Structure 1
Amino acid sequence: MAPKIAIAAFLHETNTFAPSKATYDDFAHGGGAGRMLRGQEIIDHMSDVNAAISGAIRYGRDAGWDLCPALACATSPSAHVTMDAFERITHETIDRIVAFGPLDGVFLDLHGAMVTEHLDDGEGEFLRRLRAAIGTEIPIVTCLDLHANVTQLMFSHADVLESYRTYPHVDMAQTGLRGARALDAMLTGARPQKAMRIAPYLSAIAWQCTADAPAKGLYERLSELAGKDRQMSFNMGFPAADFPECQMSVLAYGPDADDAADQMIAAVIAAEPAFKGRVYTPEDSVAQAMRIAATAPGKPVVICDTQDNPGAGADSNTTGMIRAMVTANASGAIGNLYDCDAALAAHQAGVGAQITVALGGQSRVDGDAPFTATFTVTHLSDGTFPAQGPYYRGKTMNMGLSACLQIDQLKIVVVSAKAQMADRSMFAQVGIDPQQEPILIVKSSNHFRADFDPISAALLTCAAPGPMAVDPALLPWTRLRNGMRMGALGPAFQNDSTKEPA
C-alpha cells in the first residue's frame, strides 16, 4: 500500500519591530506569495514553483506516495501575526490533517520565524498541537527558511528540521526534496539521532548572502559535514524578533550528530568578525553610484534600500532614496514603492497625465516622511505578470494596480501589494528596462541578487530611514536572551530587570 503522507504549508517571517501586522485576510489573499490554497489546489498550483512543498510533491509523486494536501498559505513579512489569523489557520490545517485518517507521515513547509500576538513561537506551537493531534509515532519532517529562529519546541516536536542553504533562496524546492527524502527514510527505518547548537551572536541579513564570505564558506563546511549519512542545517536566524530564542542555530541528524553539530557551531563562532560590511548613507550611495555608472555604461549600479525591505517586515514605502536621487538629479529607477492611493490616482489620471501626490512615507520611522511632488504617469499595469528570475521562479505575481511615476530623471514603480523587488520583471511590468537604467534602487536586502547580479556593475548597501535596521544592535531589544551579542562583535544584551541592585 502506498504511504499516506499529509502535506501543508504555513509561512510568515515576523519582524516584531515592524509597523504592520499580518491578518487572516493577508494570508487568504497572499499578495506576492499567492493566495491560500486547499486540497487538490495545492498540487495543481504548487508543483512547479520555487517552494519546499513543491519539492515534496515532486518527490512524493516519484516515490508513489498517496499525497494528502491540507492547506497552504503565506504572506509578506510584517509585524506579528494576529491571534485570529494564527488560530484559524492552525485549527483548519490540523483538522484537515487529522481528517485524512491514519497517516504514515507528515511533511510541513514552515518558515521558522513566526511570532504572533499571543505566542513567541508560532511554529513550535503549531508542531506541539499537531503532535497532540496525531501522536508521537507518525514522523514529521518540517522544512524551514534559512532565517528560521529555531526553538527548542520546534526541535523537540519535529523529527527532522531541514532548511534552505542559499540566500537568495533559490533552493527552496531542493530543500523540500531533501526533507521528503528524510521522511521517506523514516517510513521504514528508525528516527535519526539529533543535536542542536546555538550561536552566541546575531548576524545582520545584509551580510548573509551565501555567494559571499563568510556564509559561502560556512555552507560549504555544512555540506562536508552532512555528507551522505546526515541531514544538517545552519539557520542564520531572523535578527528582528524580540523574544529569547531569536538566534542562529546548527542542527544535525544522523550518526555522530553531536560531534557534527559541535564542529559546525565552532566554524560559525569563528566567522563572527566577517559578518560585518560597509553601509552607505542615501546621499553617499547615490554619489558613489553616479561615479561608478559614469565608468561602466550599459550595466546598472544597484543600491539596496535594505532598511525598507518588505521581505524583512518593512512596508516598502519609505522615501529617503527618492529624496537622495532627486536632490542629486540622478538618473535611474526605484522599486517597489507600496502606495495604493498613489497607484489608484495614476490609473484615474491615465498615461501622460501629471499628478500631484504625497508619495509613501507611512512607515512612522524617524527621518521618513511622504514625498510630495508632481509626477508624470508614464506607464500603467494591472500588476499581474509571470516572474522570470530564480527567486520567484514559476510564480504569477499580482502586485495590484501598478504605475510608473517619473520625476525629473527618476522612475518610481508604485504598486498596490507588498513584495520585495527581487525580479527584473517587477520593473518591466511598468515599462522600465532595468538594463537601460544607470542606477537601480531595490527595496530588498539579498534576494534581488539572484536576478540582478548578472546585469549589475556594482552593488551598494544603503541605510535610508526604515524599520528594518541594517545592524540588529540598533534595534530596541527588550526580551532577547541575556548574553546574546546583538550583532557580529556587538554588545551583549542584558535585561536590566535581571541585574543585581546596586
Structure 2
Amino acid sequence: MSPHPVIAVAGLGIESSTFSPARTDAPAFHPLRGDDVLTRYPFLAPGRPLREAADWRGTLVGKALPGGMVTAAAYADLTDELLHGLSRLGPVHGLWYDIHGAMTVEGVDDAEAELLRRIREITGPDTIISASMDLHGNVSRELAHRTDLITCYRMAPHEDAMETKERAARNLVHHLTSGAPRPVKAWIPVPVLLAGEQTSTRIEPAKSVYAAVAEVEATDGVTDAAIWVGYAWADEPRNRAAVVVTGSSADAVTTGAERLARGFWKARHDFDFVAPTGTLQECLDAALASRKRPYFISDTGDNPTAGGAGDVTWGLQQVLARPEFKDPTGPVVIYASLPGPAAVDTAVQAGVGATVTVTAGAEVDDRHAGPLTLTGVVHAIRHGDQHAVTEAVLRVGSVYVILTRLRKPYHCEHDFTDLELAPREADLVLVKIGYLEPELFAMAADWKMALTPGGVDQDLPRLGHRRIRRPMFPFDREMPDPDLTARLIPSSDEELTGPDE
C-alpha cells in the first residue's frame, strides 16, 4: 500500500428525539464541503503529522444540534450531495466516517447504516472505513458490518470528542500503511437503555466500566475497544447499549468484548443520576435554602443538546410564579433559555433599558404548557451567535430570562458574560441541560437536576417506547441475563446473515 493513501472524509451527525414534535432541516447541519471539511479537525491542519501521512479528501460533513427527527427531504438532499461528492473523488483507499450515531430520519430506520450502505456502493467493498461516534450513538449489527474500524467517546461529558476523532483517523492511516489484514470485529448488543445523565463517567459505576476500555485496548491483538450507552430518547430497534472491539486477533477481540459487555451488564442496577434530582419545585426550595452560590439547576426535560425542542415553557413558568422572584431586589436568577423570534424582535426594536411585554415559547412543543407572556426590562441584546442568531435578555422581577431567535445550548461562561450577565455572582442559574458541561460544573458551588417534562424526559418509561427490543433494562427490571457472547462480524465484502440480535 502507498505510504500516502487517499482517504475521504464524510458524515452527518445529530441526536434525534422521536419524542419531540420538532423536525430538523438541512441547514441545521451547517455542512462543510470539499477542502473546508478538513478545517473541522485541528489534527488535520497543514503540517500536522496525520495530515501529511495521507491524501485527505473532504466530501461533506454536517453536524447539527440535537433536535427532532430529520426530515426525509433534508436527509435526501444532504446524502445525495455527499454521495455525489464522493463519486467525484474516484477510487479511495480509506474513508473516515464522522458521525454521531443517533440520527433518526422520517421513514428510515438505522439512518447511518443506510447511508454507509450507499457509500459502499460507490467505494466498493475493499475500501477500509473507520467510524468515529458519540457514546450515545447506536451500533446495529449492520453498522458494525459496514465498517472496518469503529470507536466512540470514552467520557461523558464528552471532553475527549476531538481525541476520539483523531484516534479513528490515526487507526485508519495505520491500517492502510501497515499492510495489516482486514480487522476482526467482535460486536455484542447489551439490552440496557439509560439516559446519559445516569451513565456519566464522572462517577461510578460508569467511571470504572469505561476505565476497562483502555485496558482492553492495550491487549495484544486489539486495535480499539468501545462501549456505546445508546440513545435513550429515540424509539428504534437499534436503541440499546453495545460493545465493539476490533483488532487482528479473533480471540483477543472476543475476550475483550465479552469482558466489557459483562461489566456493563453487571453494573446496570448501580447506574444513577450524576447529581441529586427532584421536582423543579424541590430543586428551587433546596437552592433557596442553601448558602452555596452560584447554585445551578438543570431543567432536564427540554435539554436542546439531548434532542429537546428547547421551547418548552413549563420550567420558566414555574420559576416566574415563585413569590421570591417577583421583586427586582430578590435573589438573582438567570434562566437559559427560551426561543421566541417575535419576542426578540420586540426587544431589539425597543432597545436596552426599555420595558416590553412579549410572548415566547411553545411554538414547537406546546404539550406541557402554552406560550408565555412576559413583561420586563431589556437588559442586553447580542447579534451574530451561530445557533441563536440573536439573543435578548429580559429582566422579569429578579429573573434574567435569555430569549433567542433560534434555540441555543448554554454551556460556557462566555455564553452568559457576552450578554452582560455574571453567573458567578448570581444566586441561581437554571439551564436547559442534563449533566453540567465542564465549565458550568467547575463554576457551580452546588447543583441539582430537575426532572421536568419535555421531549427528553429523564423518566424513560413515561415516554412510551414501543419499538425497542424487549426485554430491556430498566423497562424490564427483572429480565433474565442476556446472551453476552461476542458475535464476530464479517467484513463488508462478506455476506451478513441471521437476525440483528
TM-score, normalization: structure 1?
0.87
Contact residue 233 and residue 455 of structure 2 kept, 8 A:
no
SS of equivalent residue, structure 1 residue 242? coil
Partner of 2:223: 230
The residue type equivalent to 2:439 in the other structure is: D
Cα distance in 2 for partners of 1:130, 1:60 equals 27
Pick the aligned partner of 2:184 from 166, 170, 193.
Answer: 193
Cα distance in 1 for partners of 2:476, 2:393 equals 39
The residue type equivalent to 1:46 in the other structure is: R
Partner of 1:161: 150
In the TM superposition, residue 113 of structure 1 has moved relative to its aligned partner by 0.9
Partner of 1:404: 393
Confirm whether residue 285 of structure 1 aligns to residue 283 of structure 2.
yes
Deviates more, 1:369-378 or 1:345-354: 369-378
Pick the aligned partner of 2:257 from 255, 261, 264.
Answer: 261
Which residues of structure 2 form unaligned runs of 5+? 326-331, 481-501
The residue type equivalent to 2:266 in the other structure is: A
With over 3 angstroms needed to count, the CA separation of the structure-2 counterparts of 1:17 and 1:46, relative to structure 1, is same
Partner of 2:83: 94
Confirm whether residue 40 of structure 1 aligns to residue 24 of structure 2.
no
Cα distance in 2 for partners of 1:269, 1:55 equals 37
Partner of 2:128: 139
With over 3 angstroms needed to count, the CA separation of the structure-2 counterparts of 1:474 and 1:327, relative to structure 1, is same
In the TM superposition, residue 135 of structure 1 has moved relative to its aligned partner by 0.9
In the TM superposition, residue 91 of structure 1 has moved relative to its aligned partner by 1.7
Partner of 1:69: 58
With over 3 angstroms needed to count, the CA separation of the structure-2 counterparts of 1:485 and 1:462, relative to structure 1, is same
Aligned residue runs from structure 1 range 78-93, under 5 A: 78-93=67-82
In the TM superposition, residue 197 of structure 1 has moved relative to its aligned partner by 0.9
The residue type equivalent to 2:321 in the other structure is: T
With over 3 angstroms needed to count, the CA separation of the structure-2 counterparts of 1:362 and 1:285, relative to structure 1, is farther
The residue type equivalent to 1:170 in the other structure is: E
CA deviation map 1:214-273 (0-9, x unaligned): 211111111111116430111111111111111111111123111111111111011111
SS of equivalent residue, structure 2 residue 305? helix
Cα distance in 2 for partners of 1:107, 1:258 equals 24
Confirm whether residue 125 of structure 1 aligns to residue 114 of structure 2.
yes
In the TM superposition, residue 333 of structure 1 has moved relative to its aligned partner by 0.2
Contact residue 13 and residue 62 of structure 2 kept, 8 A:
yes
Partner of 1:368: 369
Aligned residue runs from structure 1 range 371-450, under 5 A: 371-384=372-385, 397-446=386-435, 448-450=436-438
Confirm whether residue 482 of structure 1 aligns to residue 478 of structure 2.
no
Partner of 1:466: 454
Confirm whether residue 272 of structure 1 aligns to residue 268 of structure 2.
yes
Cα distance in 2 for partners of 1:346, 1:23 equals 27
Cα distance in 2 for partners of 1:252, 1:58 equals 32
CA deviation map 1:64-85 (0-9, x unaligned): 2111111121212222211111
SS of equivalent residue, structure 1 residue 265? helix
Name the count of aligned residue pairs. 462
Cα distance in 2 for partners of 1:58, 1:72 equals 22
SS of equivalent residue, structure 1 residue 85? helix
With over 3 angstroms needed to count, the CA separation of the structure-2 counterparts of 1:491 and 1:375, relative to structure 1, is farther
Contact residue 294 and residue 429 of structure 2 kept, 8 A:
yes
Cα distance in 1 for partners of 2:369, 2:421 equals 26
Cα distance in 2 for partners of 1:57, 1:85 equals 32
SS of equivalent residue, structure 1 residue 80? strand
Confirm whether residue 204 of structure 1 aligns to residue 199 of structure 2.
no
Contact residue 399 and residue 417 of structure 1 kept, 8 A:
yes
With over 3 angstroms needed to count, the CA separation of the structure-2 counterparts of 1:258 and 1:56, relative to structure 1, is farther
Cα distance in 1 for partners of 2:212, 2:48 equals 26
Pick the aligned partner of 1:245 from 235, 238, 243.
Answer: 238
Confirm whether residue 454 of structure 1 aligns to residue 418 of structure 2.
no
Cα distance in 2 for partners of 1:213, 1:335 equals 29
In the TM superposition, residue 59 of structure 1 has moved relative to its aligned partner by 6.5
With over 3 angstroms needed to count, the CA separation of the structure-2 counterparts of 1:424 and 1:146, relative to structure 1, is same
Cα distance in 2 for partners of 1:450, 1:57 equals 30
Contact residue 83 and residue 116 of structure 1 kept, 8 A:
yes
Contact residue 302 and residue 309 of structure 2 kept, 8 A:
yes
Partner of 1:311: 305
Taking only aligned residues, the RMSD between alpha carbons, in angstroms, comes to 2.1
Contact residue 473 and residue 491 of structure 1 kept, 8 A:
no
Partner of 2:494: none
The residue type equivalent to 1:464 in the other structure is: T
SS of equivalent residue, structure 2 residue 389? coil
Percent pairwise identity? 26
SS of equivalent residue, structure 2 residue 337? strand
In the TM superposition, residue 189 of structure 1 has moved relative to its aligned partner by 1.2
The residue type equivalent to 1:47 in the other structure is: Y
Partner of 2:27: 25
Cα distance in 2 for partners of 1:480, 1:62 equals 41
Contact residue 205 and residue 470 of structure 1 kept, 8 A:
no
Cα distance in 2 for partners of 1:11, 1:62 equals 23
Which residues of structure 1 form unaligned runs of 5+? 28-34, 49-53, 385-396, 493-502
CA deviation map 1:112-152 (0-9, x unaligned): 11111121111000111111211111100010111111111
Contact residue 16 and residue 80 of structure 1 kept, 8 A:
yes
The residue type equivalent to 2:228 in the other structure is: N
Partner of 2:359: 358
Cα distance in 1 for partners of 2:264, 2:465 equals 23
With over 3 angstroms needed to count, the CA separation of the structure-2 counterparts of 1:383 and 1:304, relative to structure 1, is farther
CA deviation map 1:321-356 (0-9, x unaligned): 323322332431011222222111110111111111
Cα distance in 2 for partners of 1:273, 1:47 equals 38
Contact residue 41 and residue 162 of structure 2 kept, 8 A:
no
Cα distance in 2 for partners of 1:57, 1:237 equals 35
The residue type equivalent to 2:393 in the other structure is: C
Confirm whether residue 3 of structure 1 aligns to residue 14 of structure 2.
no
Deviates more, 1:268-277 or 1:130-139: 268-277
With over 3 angstroms needed to count, the CA separation of the structure-2 counterparts of 1:257 and 1:491, relative to structure 1, is closer
